Amino acid sequence: MKLFDADPFPLAAILRGLTPQEAPEVGRILFDAGFRILEVPLNRPGALLAIEALRAMAPDDAVVGGGTMLSREHVDQVLGAGGRLMVSPNCEPDVISYAVEKKMLCLPGVATPTEAYRALAAGAHGLKLFPAEMITPPVVKALRSILPSQTRLLPVGGITPENMEVFVKAGANGFGIGGALYQPGVEMGRLQAAAQAFMAARARLMSQTAA
């Protein structure tokens, strides 16, 4: 995926519980803040309709799709809604390779070296390190030392603007962000402030790594 490859430090917004009615305003705030990867997990009602709404308004350089995608059927459903992103909490090579075949950006969840290598062999474009509460910075450092150097490692779970730096120093080069950014019914001003805080932390970390 060229858009993903061109981003040196991707942040994926995880919008669990997003309703189709909320989607346009939430999408506008996140896109305006600079987010370019938006994930709507499928294990909540209305997810596919929310993906459709986000996709209709997404900038050309954005990728919208589904999370908690566990089967080929989920891949087909998200594709039908216009989504081009496959995110899962687990490593299922058959689902990964099917999504890659359909030209989706694939970020499956892994927690061990075995899962990481299986996901990459299936064609994953990056690895969702989940749950990050369990995959601590020392574990990220160990994974970074054995995986191909170009592998994108995106911790997910409990990520905040304040704890991103320790993961980056360990080898992370992107994140998936959930509850610290969006929760159902969040006040839009609060969402905007959180989005800006994450993007400010991203800019700061990028400048540090480039120095």
Whole-angstrom distance, CA of residue 117 vs CA of residue 2: 22
- The SS3 call for residue 14 is strand
Whole-angstrom distance, CA of residue 10 vs CA of residue 122: 21
Concerning whether 92 is annotated as a catalytic residue, the answer is no
- For residues 67 and 14, the answer to whether their CB atoms sit within 8 Å is yes
Which of the following is catalytic: 2, 22, 25, 39?
39
- For residues 12 and 154, the answer to whether their CB atoms sit within 8 Å is yes
Residue 40, token pair as written in the block: 């709507």
Number of residues in the chain: 211
Concerning whether 128 is annotated as a catalytic residue, the answer is yes
Which of the following is catalytic: 2, 92, 128, 141?
128
Residues noted as catalytic: 39, 128
